[in-house]
Amino acid sequence: MNEAKPIGGKIWTMPFLFLTAIVILAVFFLAERFLFGLGSVTNMNDSYPWGIWIAYDVVIGTAFACGGYSMALLVYVFNKGEYHPLVRPALLASLFGYTLAGVSVIFDIGRYWQAYNIMIPSKMNFHSVLLEVALCIGTYVLVLWVEFAPAVLEKVRAERQLAKLNKVIFVFIALGVLLPSMHQSSLGTMMLAAGHKLSPLWWSKSLPMLFLISAMTIGYAVVVFESTVAALAFKRPLETGMLSKLSGLIPWLLGGYLLVRLQDINGAGLLPLAFSGGLQGNMFLLENLLLLGALLLLIYPINRSSPRMLFIAALLIMAGGGLYRLNVYLIGYDPGTGFHYFPSAPELLVTFALIAVEIMGYTWFVKRFPVLPAVKHA
Amino acid sequence: MDDRSFEKVRGRLLGVSRRDFMKFCTAMAASMGLPLSMAPRIANAVTSAKRAPVIWLSGQGCTGCTESLLRPSHPTLEHLILDLISLDYNETLNVGAGHQAEAAMNKSIEENHGKFILVVEGAIPLKDGGVYCQVAGRPFVDTVKETAAKAAAIVAIGSCASWGGIPAAEPNPTGATGLPEVLKGSTVVTIPGCPPNAYNFLSTVIHFLTFNKLPALDDKGRPKFAYGRLIHANCERRPHFDNGRFALKFGDEGHRLGYCLYKLGCKGPMTYANCPSVLFCDVGSGAWPVGTGHPCFGCTEEGVGFTIPLHTQADVSHFTPAAAHPPIVEDQGSAVTPGAAALLAGVAGAAIGAGAVAAKKLGEIESDKEQS
């Protein structure tokens, strides 16, 4: 753990300034949203009560933020200590992903000034899957900050607090594995309730399980992606050795996922629907082709040791897994005749701004705090 | 109630199936607002070997209340209830007549001293010593007072018994009075209505048999489970009231379309009763006065029914029309706008491009390594 070191360098680079501009623009639209309501900024309507802010920022965003979960599961539960250097950067990405998902929910709640009620036990609706998701994600955000706290404590040299935290941190690590297992599957459970409104290409009793497995798979893919991009962006050596070993897991997860997913569709006799040529059918094919492509790439050990193939496979998984979630929450969802939804430009901008904040936060942290493993000079 | 205990009472239920019987008990519990877990207790009370004797006295009335009691359209259950409450005396239903009937009544009253339920139907005239209504040569008021002193519970059924009803309408030549007024000081349950809903009466009696006490009553002695809400509060035509759609004449377009009858003199906003939710005669929705297109005339409300003229507009003290209504045509969302599509496509393209550039760079690093 002591091997991590801040990488230093200038914060206000050109890309950083560009991202700041997007954020400023989004803040303007958010002010409009909070003053004049959701209708003034978004394209949501009575039958599409959620849009891109939930579908991307929360559902896909938290899946992309599952790196911390997947790594904690591997390192602490399966005791694979060799991957430890990957944990802290993965946690950092998760931290931003989840925190911003929580923030995004506040943007999305119509009467946001009532949001605090969800924390009051007497006001809770215990029959709601959404309550489980909300409490679970809320708690997990806190847990993530505690899990990440050692990096901050090391930076400010608060040795006493660090020692104290290290004594109890196992509780938080355990929670950090438990909570995502709960809410990632609940994100699938939630759409079980949509029933016939969700196309049969996605509605299935396996939804919770598929969401959980895909979250884990995306988690590992994100670790590969994030490590590779950090290496390229900050001109650091690639961590290919560790990544290729890690990605040996992915074919198993992905293979299992695709087996369940495709047999689900085949067993229900829905393959003709998938090939019917409509938007939903094509999206179904695209989603599964992307994942199948990644599986075919990663099955061969030779590809797993190539940083380029690894990176492409990680991108395919993130695209396919993300599309799966987008399909479940928006594209495959048809609430009834006459209703349309396509995000408005300001709505999209807010989502881009959240991604920008994630990138900016990540950069700032790795430059100023001990997150990435120190480079050993040859 | 399990099968075995049901077998014991089957003989007295005149062929009612166990399923129908439990359905009846559950419906009774529901109409009184009791938890459904009370249904078995009700079943036990209803089938207990000792049936509660009921003495039913009729004064200045039309026997409509007795008629309505015979109307609950589960025919077998009607028998069941007559069997259940052991109706020992009822002038309309008695088989015997004259001295024979009077003797039976007196015998029952003496045998069941302090145990029977007294039901009074019709008003009681007090003018000139009560001579305007006499049964077996005695003023009705004397019989009522004498019997009431020996009863376990006293029920005034119908509007006449509750406060005087039609006989007490102006100018009230006989001095017709309601039972609570005659029996000042005793608790009298009133089940007003012209006629009252038979289920409100049955529920009250069954509540008494099951729990050995009367249901909660309002200040006019009416069971709260049945008379706790204004008709206006539960009326199926209420949305028309709230939206200002009224029938203005009998047979006009609004009337034919089932609009609110308020402007025809409906007394729903002043009258407490459960007619809109319990309905009459078990024939399905709409089987109550307002449902058939006639304004409520307030028969369960003293000072309204038989007092305020039929077509006088009611006072609306609360439940006034809403100031604003939710929109009927809702926004269904717009199609893709060029700006949004361009933005999304641009960013997606940039992301794919960035991915490709990164992959290319990685390829270069790889080949560099191989060469070195």
CATH number at residue B174: 3.40.50.700
3-state secondary structure of B223: strand
B53 token code pair: 């004797």
A-chain CB neighbours of B341 within 8 Å are 342
Pair B69, B194 in one domain: yes
Q: Cβ–Cβ of A228/B362 closer than 8 Å? A: yes
Residue B266's region, left for phi above 0, alpha for psi from -120 to 50, else beta, is beta
3-state secondary structure of B117: strand
Chain A, residues 289-348, CB within 8 A of chain B, namely: 306-308, 311-312, 315, 338-345, 347-348
Tell me what the pLDDT averaged over chain A comes to.
Answer: 91
The structural domain count of chain B equals: 2
Distance, in Å, from the CA atom of B322 to the CA atom of A35, rounded to the nearest integer, reads 27
Residue-level pLDDT at B75: 40
Distance, in Å, from the CA atom of B99 to the CA atom of B224, rounded to the nearest integer, reads 39
Pair B112, B176 in one domain: yes
Pair B71, B213 in one domain: yes
Pair B217, B267 in one domain: no
Chain B, residues 256-315, CB within 8 A of chain A, namely: none
Q: What is the DSSP letter of B272?
A: B
Q: What are residue B138's DSSP bridge partners?
A: B135
Q: Cβ–Cβ of B335/A342 closer than 8 Å? A: yes
Q: What are residue B89's DSSP bridge partners?
A: B55
The CATH superfamily assigned to A14-340+347-365 is: Formate dehydrogenase/DMSO reductase domain (1.20.1630.10)
Residue B170 lies in a domain: yes
Q: How many Å lie between the alpha carbon of B372 and the closest alpha carbon of chain A?
A: 16
Residue-level pLDDT at B235: 92
Residue A178 burial (10 A CB sphere; 0-12, 13-18, 19+) = middle
A249 token code pair: 């897991």
Pair B184, B282 in one domain: no
Give yes or no for B338 touching A (CB within 8 A).
Answer: no
B-chain CB neighbours of A339 within 8 Å are 332-333
Pair B130, B67 in one domain: yes
Q: Which of B226, B257, B283 is the last residue of a domain?
A: B226
Q: For the CA atoms of B367, A234, A357, A178, what is the dihedral angle to 10 degrees?
A: 80
Q: Which of B326, B341, B367 is the last residue of a domain?
A: B326
Do the Cβ atoms of A240 and A310 come closer than 8 Å? Answer: yes
Do the Cβ atoms of A339 and A48 come closer than 8 Å? Answer: yes
Residue B74 lies in a domain: yes
Q: Model-level pTM?
A: 0.63
Give yes or no for B341 touching A (CB within 8 A).
Answer: yes
Pair B302, B164 in one domain: no
Task: Determine the residue of chain A that is closest to B337 in CA distance.
Answer: A344
Give yes or no for B348 touching A (CB within 8 A).
Answer: no
Pair B219, B186 in one domain: yes
Pair B284, B139 in one domain: no
Task: Determine the residue of chain A that is closest to B339 in CA distance.
Answer: A345
Residue-level pLDDT at B320: 66
Residue B334 lies in a domain: no
Q: Going by C-beta distance under 8 Å and a sequence separation of 6 or more, which residues neighbour residue B165? A: B61, B123, B158, B159, B176, B178, B192, B194, B305, B306
Mark the ranges of chain B whose per-residue pLDDT is less than 70: 1-3, 5, 8-15, 33, 35-36, 45-50, 71-84, 319-328, 372
Mark the ranges of chain A whose per-residue pLDDT is less than 70: 1-2, 376-378
Give yes or no for B357 touching A (CB within 8 A).
Answer: no
B-chain CB neighbours of A230 within 8 Å are none
- End-to-end Cα spacing for chain A: 21
Instruction: Give B58-102 as a 3 state SS string.
Output: ECECCCHHHHHHCCCCCHHHHHHHHHHHCEEEECCCCCCCHHHHH
Q: Given the DSSP bridges, would you call strands B117-121 and B153-157 parallel, antiparallel or unpaired? A: parallel
In A121-172, the DSSP E strands lie at none
Residue-level pLDDT at B70: 74
Give yes or no for B330 touching A (CB within 8 A).
Answer: yes
3-state secondary structure of A344: coil
B-chain CB neighbours of A226 within 8 Å are none
Long-range contacts, stretch B308-315, CB < 8 angstroms, 24+ apart:
B308/B267, B309/B265, B310/B265, B311/B264, B311/B265, B312/B265, B313/B262, B313/B263, B313/B265, B314/B262, B314/B265, B314/B266, B314/B267, B314/B268, B314/B269, B314/B270, B315/B269, B315/B270
Give yes or no for A225 touching B (CB within 8 A).
Answer: no
B-chain CB neighbours of A340 within 8 Å are 332-335
- End-to-end Cα spacing for chain B: 90
A282 token code pair: 């094509």
Segments making up each domain of chain A, as ranges: 14-340+347-365
Quote the Cα angle for B166-B167-B169, to 5°: 65
Pair B133, B242 in one domain: no
Pair B7, B54 in one domain: yes
Pair B107, B141 in one domain: yes
Distance, in Å, from the CA atom of B9 to the CA atom of A365, rounded to the nearest integer, reads 81
Distance, in Å, from the CA atom of B367 to the CA atom of B190, rounded to the nearest integer, reads 99
Q: Cβ–Cβ of B340/A344 closer than 8 Å? A: yes
Residue B344 lies in a domain: no
Q: Cβ–Cβ of A345/B331 closer than 8 Å? A: no
User: For residue B273, what is the domain's CATH number?
Assistant: 4.10.480.10
Residue B361 lies in a domain: no
Write down the residue that tokens 């529920």 correspond to: B203
Provide the domain limits for residue B121.
Answer: 3-226
Distance, in Å, from the CA atom of B314 to the CA atom of B171, rounded to the nearest integer, reads 23
